[in-house]
A = this chain, B = another copy of it.
Amino acid sequence: MRIVIIGGVAGGMSAATRLRRLSEENEIIVLEKGPFVSFANCGLPYYLGGEITDWQQLVLKTPADLHQRFNLDVRINHRVTAVDLTQQKLTIKTPDGIKQLHYDRLLLSPGASPIVPRMPGVDLTQRQFVLRGIPDLKKIVTALKQNNLKKIAVIGGGAIGIEVTEALLRQGDQVSLIEAQDQILAPFDLEMTAPLTAELRKHGAKLHLASKVTRILADNTLVLENNQQVASQAIIFALGVRPDTAIFQQAGLKTAVDGSLLVDEHYQTSAENVYAVGDAILTKNQLTQQAQPFRLASPANRQGRQVADAIMGLKRKNQGNIGTSIVRVFSQAAAQTGLNEKQLKKMGRNYRCLHLRGNSHVTYFPGAAAIKLKLLFDSENGAILGAQATGQSGIARRIDVLATAIKGHLTVNDLPELELSYSPPFGLAKDPVNLAGYAAQNVLEGLSDNLQWYELAKYQAAGAYLLDVREPVEIQQNGAYPQAHNLPLDSLRDHLAELPTKRLIITACQSGQRSYLAERILRNHGFQVKNLDGGWLTYHDGMTQKLGKA
């Protein structure tokens, strides 16, 4: 039979090669609207930043390669303009004119297109760009170089916006990053973005958070909502993408409100013999059971392979996603998996949260780097709901372990049981993931109770007594909590009589660990206590980010 695949990147190409491995008999035709197939989308910013020096490295396979090895018929610069679902026929704009093509099975992997905002002054011919493919990349590089443009505005602080910002800063450009939300990188919670925001600013980025662009002047100067002007010679829009599904909607395929194609768990669309994968579909969020887009490379590749199995009648279905991502911000890595606190709040889910400051490996071995880890879990059964981490080393590893734990339906009670690689150059006998499990278990079992950085003022207003158990010198060096009383942990037992017996005591320290010990001492002496989760590090990150000072 003839299987036609629309879209020759990630999902489409994974499907094509798997289809060939499953059978030598089918005719497999891949139609790609652009000049390249099988290129490394995710690598584009790193070419812009000069870390990848040859753009051809981003082209993983050519049509000729794919023909020779997989007997695929790959047609580039072929744009499908209409789909006749009844006749099973495509209309295609090709370099040789309009053509028709019959299909027995049709796989849609059209991807998504960058969103270009509607506002006065937007004009993609006027040194304003998006970055989705190699042609976009070439356009940007050529324009910046030929015109010696050094003052660039990036609009949108998601992963692509951050990667592009870093890339341009690496090239010595002056970069303004404008983001409508009060934080960059939406998959992370506010306080977790503080080290990343600080890292960008350290490298010269001018960040405008909670800022909306309202129009663009003729010289590409941006005008923000507050009438502030941001001078820029060139603009890159990094406002996310929308599924590239207009012609399929026109053909009659069912889509969601956002234009995403609706598919069943075998990737079949609303039409017989028509399947879809990748950025253009919704999949089930395994943690919420709701359909949503996961526009990431890994799911697209997986779906491509799985749909090939489905088309060939193998037992395979789309199990959904939890969403895991990582982004580099100069020397910092930031990774996350599952749900964040913002989402959990919005859902009204009963969750608990903890922040932990760990290390990539034992501190007595050279090169250990700090890890800031946030863990979210169900208040009742301890199910792991999400995790976020930042730091210079060991970040992907911890988030990968936690992502695997979520997939395995582990609870926080299982985290201490994880046996992770340990020897001094590589880890810790008690890994941050183990420690997070212990801390969460303490909360679940009532040995500890915490409050979050954004709740401190509320508790204090309600009469809580804030006890900072750090050493005075640490407070001087790092900063003081508002209206805090100080009693260093190691002298706490000698001063119990000075503490209020009828008020809630909030113990606090630098990272939340010593204050937990203080909490235990005080609880064991009958005091009513909560621990300030994550200590000064988290409180300071949250407050500075909230106040726009990060």
A→B interface (CB under 8 Å):
10, 21-25, 40, 42-43, 46, 51-52, 57-58, 60, 68-69, 71, 159, 163, 296-302, 305, 314, 319, 321-328, 333, 335, 337, 362, 364-366, 395-397, 399-401, 403-405, 407-410, 414, 416-427, 429-431, 434, 438, 445, 447, 489-490, 493, 517, 520-521, 524-525
Contacts and interface: CB of A to CB of B under 8 A. Distances in A.
A25 B524 contact: yes
Contact of A297 (B60, B416, B429): B429
A335 B421 contact: yes
A524 B69 CA distance: 15
A395 B423 CA distance: 12
A416 B366 CA distance: 35
Contacts of A417: 302, 319, 407
B410 A407 contact: yes
Nearest to A396: B421
Contacts of A23: 524
B399 A401 contact: no
Given A23-B524, A42-B422, A51-B366, 17 more contacts: A10-B429, A22-B520, A22-B524, A24-B525, A42-B362, A58-B364, A296-B419, A298-B430, A300-B429, A302-B416, A325-B423, A326-B426, A328-B423, A333-B426, A337-B421, A396-B427, A404-B418
Contact of A420 (B57, B324, B328): B324
Nearest to A337: B419
8 contacts: A43-B364, A71-B493, A298-B430, A302-B416, A314-B445, A324-B420, A333-B425, A396-B427
A407 B414 contact: yes
Contacts of A60: 364
Contacts of A301: 429-430
Given A362-B40, A396-B426, A429-B10, A298 B420 contact: yes
B24 A524 contact: yes
